[in-house]
Amino acid sequence: MIDTLIDVTLLAFLAVTAIAIIKVRNLFVVIMLFGIFSLHSAGLFVVMDAADVAFTEAAVGAGISTVLMLATLALTRNQQEKMPVHRARLPLLVVLITAGALIYGTYDIPSFGDSRSPSQEYLKPQYIERGVKETGTPNIVTALLASYRGYDTLGEVTVIFTAGIGVLLLVGGRITRRVKPGESGPERRKIDET
Amino acid sequence: MKHNLILRVIAKFLFPVIALFAFYVQFHGDFGPGGGFQAGVILSVAFIFYALVFGLKTTEEVIPPHLLRILASMGILIYAGTGITTMLMGGNFLDYNLLSLTPIQGQHIGIMVVEAGVGITVFSVMLMIFFAFAGRERPQETDHD
């Protein structure tokens, strides 16, 4: 009963935030709403007993990405989103059809917490049974990520590293090095282009 | 935000708390929720918070960007190095069982080391990205770096 109440409340907040994000034109407000949206999702993950995911969502979604988007907003200096000049009927149709297909697809997904779904029956009992015995790590999530699927996690870390390198190459401070001190942004860019 | 007294005091007070929590998440990841990724993100959040209040320059003095680049590569190196080490000890890549006398102890060490690598890389990459974005439009000192 109380679980349902929390679920409904959080999902309602999510929906309200999402609609607000669509409606509001001030980008600063939109970024703040995105942070709130992430926080609500983190709350939902906690309700679903996925504490690790909630952790990540709260730290990355509500924390870092909000700060990064604010930094981007400070760079672009354009606080207002432009009103669209025409009504987007065809995109709306495409979105509606896709959403309908996706919602139809959810009927084939095993319901939440279904103990007889394929993913619960095939490997998971093995991990639960052998995880603590083989790795001595009570948190099975950690045992899975770091030990059983060490390859995957190594790949993920490499992806993060590559992303960092990519950002450094794109917006890193290297290009400004040739310029004398005391010059402001727009001139600097012009010098670089010539 | 340099003249905002309350904010500065709170930031100084919160920085060690956030950092400590990050280390708790890092080293308690075997038992509770969390692990290297979350810990790295939380620790970088502490530094970003510091940077937001005290300015980018102060933060870059605390943790210089070139050090971050080295750290980011170090993390992956630690991770992959663990795998190579187990290979050199005669096992498979990332086979932690060989790292100590008993397999369980080996697994403990392996997971700990690997998570440390993850944490270091995630922490430094997050900060690197933040510095790259936030330091973009600053008046630049050419002799720095």
Class in CATH terms, A1-82:
mainly alpha
What ipTM, to 2 d.p.? 0.86
Two tokens, residue A120: 């619960």
Chain A residues with beta carbon closer than 8 angstroms to that of B65: 173
**With an 8 Å Cβ cutoff, are A141 and B35 in contact?**
yes
Q: What is the pLDDT of residues A97-147, one digit of tens each?
A: 999 999 999 888 888 778 788 777 877 888 888 888 888 888 888 888 888
Among B87, B34, B128, B83, CA closest to A58: B34
Alpha carbon of residue A155 to chain centroid: 19
Q: What is the pLDDT of residues A160-178, one digit of tens each?
A: 999 999 988 888 764 444 4
Cα distance between residue A123 and residue B119, in whole Å: 28
Q: What is the pLDDT of residues B1-47, one digit of tens each?
A: 557 889 999 999 999 999 999 999 998 888 888 888 999 999 999 99
Query: Considering CB atoms only, which of A67, A75, A163 is closest to B48?
Result: A67
Angle between helices A65-76 and B103-134 (to 10 degrees): 20
Angle between helices A2-23 and A27-47 (to 10 degrees): 160
Alpha carbon of residue B23 to chain centroid: 10
Two tokens, residue A110: 């095993």
Rounded to whole angstroms, the maximal C-alpha distance in chain A is 67
**With an 8 Å Cβ cutoff, are A137 and B118 in contact?**
no
Chain B residues with beta carbon closer than 8 angstroms to that of A172: 132
Residue A186, classed as helix, strand or coil, is helix
Please check whether residue B132 is in contact with residue B97, taking contact to mean a CB–CB distance below 8 angstroms: no
**With an 8 Å Cβ cutoff, are B132 and A167 in contact?**
yes
Residue A188 has pLDDT above 60, yes or no: no
**With an 8 Å Cβ cutoff, are A60 and B105 in contact?**
no
Query: Considering CB atoms only, which of A156, A168, A181 is closest to B142?
Result: A181
CA atoms within 13 A on the CB side of A154: 20
Q: What is the pLDDT of residue A190?
A: 44
**How many residues are given for chain B?**
145
Q: What is the pLDDT of residues A59-103, one digit of tens each?
A: 888 889 999 898 888 887 777 777 777 778 898 999 999 999 999
**With an 8 Å Cβ cutoff, are A151 and B108 in contact?**
no
**With an 8 Å Cβ cutoff, are A164 and B114 in contact?**
no
Q: For the ranges A40-49, A87-96, A140-149, B77-86, which has the lowest average pLDDT?
A: A140-149
Two tokens, residue A148: 């059983």
Query: Considering CB atoms only, which of A52, A136, A160 is closest to B33?
Result: A52
Cα distance between residue A171 and residue A38, in whole Å: 25
Residue A26, classed as helix, strand or coil, is strand
Cα–Cα–Cα angle for A51, A54, A58, rounded to 5 degrees = 140
Residue with tokens 């040739």: A178
Which residue of chain A comes nearest to B107, CA vs CA? A135
Query: Considering CB atoms only, which of A71, A142, A180 is closest to B35?
Result: A142
Percent residues over pLDDT 70 in chain B: 92
Enter the pTM of the model: 0.81
Please report the DSSP string for A74-131 in residue order.
HHH---BPPPPSS--HHHHHHHHHHHHHHHHHHTTSPPTT-TTSHHHHTTHHHHHHHH
Please check whether residue A176 is in contact with residue A163, taking contact to mean a CB–CB distance below 8 angstroms: no
